[in-house]
Amino acid sequence: MTKSISDDRQFRVIAAVDAGLSRRAAAERFGVSTGSAIRWVREWRETGSARAKPQGRDRRSQRIEAYRTVILMAIEEQVDSTLEIAAMLRTDHGAIFAASTIWRFLDRHAMTFKKNGARERAGAVRRCRAA
């Protein structure tokens, strides 16, 4: 992930635009993309803040976390039922989630389903060679 541009540079771009420079000219002058300059000025005018937003955090898990109790109850009834959980959420609640989203939810809640030794596949048949 790229590093965010310093707040100082953002404030200089905004100050240049407020002083009369166009957003494109300010972006070229300070070596940033035109889109960034446009977003910074818009954010500054709408909220009064131009600070960089946090990077790298999960922004969508709260959507599935809203169904936490429903999912955990379904897991208690039937273990290892990711696709069934996705179907249940779709039919009962109208919420559509990919299987990978459900797996990440389960992983966050330390509910991973590992195969145990009793269920391992049988080994290859060994053939005895004649002496």
Rounded (10°) CA dihedral 80, 82, 85, 87: -130
Residues 66 and 43 in one domain: no
For residue 20, give its domain range. Answer: 7-47
Examine the pLDDT at 22 and tell me if it is beyond 70: yes
Examine the pLDDT at 12 and tell me if it is beyond 90: yes
Residues 65 and 41 in one domain: no
Examine the pLDDT at 49 and tell me if it is beyond 90: no
Residue 119: inside a domain: no
Taking CA 124 as the corner, what is the angle to CA 123 and CA 129, rounded to the nearest 5 degrees?
135
Position 42 scores a pLDDT of 93
Residue 27: inside a domain: yes
Residues 37 and 76 in one domain: no
Better-predicted residue by pLDDT, 109 or 26: 26
Residues 72 and 35 in one domain: no
Examine the pLDDT at 114 and tell me if it is beyond 80: no
Better-predicted residue by pLDDT, 115 or 1: 115
In the chain, how many domains are there? 2
Position 63 scores a pLDDT of 83
Position 20 scores a pLDDT of 94
Residue 60 is given by DSSP the state S
Residues 17 and 43 in one domain: yes
Residues 98 and 70 in one domain: yes
